[in-house]
């Protein structure tokens, strides 16, 4: 399946599911609507239906005319390998969110930064990596705390101020 066709299908499916399934369940109509005011689901439904129609047009355009190639620059890795990297990013983001209540924002930030640096393929510059991953979150926490009085969530290392 070519990229333009896949794109058209995804767009149509997203807006169709929103219009047909999500709006009836997650946009409740109040029992009383003042005057002639349109109900709350009117606007999202209009946008979702318009989006679905646009998706069908994108799909039709992809099927009817030969679209130019849409290359994406990469390092030559296989699609599976790139998908694994993306899964790694998603897992790191999820782990960060799960780690904050346990280890605190600063420590979770350190772990996420270190993970991200290593995932970019950076293996040299050890001092800079350590400074950025450990010193960066600490410096930012101190800055925002002193400038705005922000209280970042603390966790296991609460006695140390993190």
**Distance in angstroms (rounded) separating the CA atoms of residues 57 and 116:** 39
Pick from 17, 21, 42, 102: which binds other proteins (CB under 8 A)?
42
Interface with other proteins includes 141 (CB under 8 A)?
yes
Interface with other proteins includes 29 (CB under 8 A)?
yes
Comparing CB distances to other proteins, the nearer of 148 and 159 is 148
On whether the CB atoms of residues 133 and 114 are closer than 8 A, the answer is yes
Interface with other proteins includes 36 (CB under 8 A)?
yes
* Strand, coil or helix: 153: coil
Query: From the CB of 159, what's the least distance to other proteins, in Å?
Result: 22
Interface with other proteins includes 161 (CB under 8 A)?
no
Q: What backbone torsions phi and psi does residue 39 show, to the nearest 5 degrees?
A: -65, 160
Interface with other proteins includes 162 (CB under 8 A)?
no
- Reading the block at residue 153, the tokens are 């969530």
Pick from 22, 63, 91, 130: which binds other proteins (CB under 8 A)?
22
Pick from 15, 103, 104, 162: which binds other proteins (CB under 8 A)?
15
On whether the CB atoms of residues 14 and 51 are closer than 8 A, the answer is yes
Residues numbered 63 to 122 that lie near other proteins (CB under 8 A) are 65, 68, 70, 72-75, 77, 82, 85-86, 88-90, 93, 96-97, 100, 105, 109, 112-113, 116-117, 119-122
**Distance in angstroms (rounded) separating the CA atoms of residues 83 and 90:** 11
Q: What long-range pairs does 65-71 form, CB within 8 A, spacing at least 24? A: 67/2, 67/4, 70/3, 70/4
Comparing CB distances to other proteins, the nearer of 42 and 160 is 42
Q: How many residues are listed for the chain in this entry? A: 162
């Amino acid at each position: 399946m070519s990229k333009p066709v896949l794109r058209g299908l995804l767009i149509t499916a997203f807006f169709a599911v929103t219009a047909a399934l999500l709006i009836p369940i997650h946009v409740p109509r109040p029992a009383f609507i003042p005057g002639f005011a349109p109900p709350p689901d009117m606007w999202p439904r209009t946008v979702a239906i318009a989006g679905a129609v646009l998706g069908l047009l994108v799909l039709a355009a992809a099927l009817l005319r030969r679209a130019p190639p849409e290359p994406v620059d990469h390092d030559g890795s296989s699609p599976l390998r790139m998908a694994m990297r993306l899964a790694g990013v998603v897992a790191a983001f999820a782990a960060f969110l799960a780690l904050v209540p346990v280890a605190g924002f600063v420590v979770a930030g350190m772990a996420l930064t270190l993970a991200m640096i290593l995932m970019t393929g950076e293996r040299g510059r050890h001092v800079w990596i350590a400074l950025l991953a450990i010193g960066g979150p600490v410096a930012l926490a101190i800055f925002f705390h002193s400038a705005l009085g922000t209280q970042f969530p603390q966790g296991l290392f609460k006695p140390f101020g993190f």
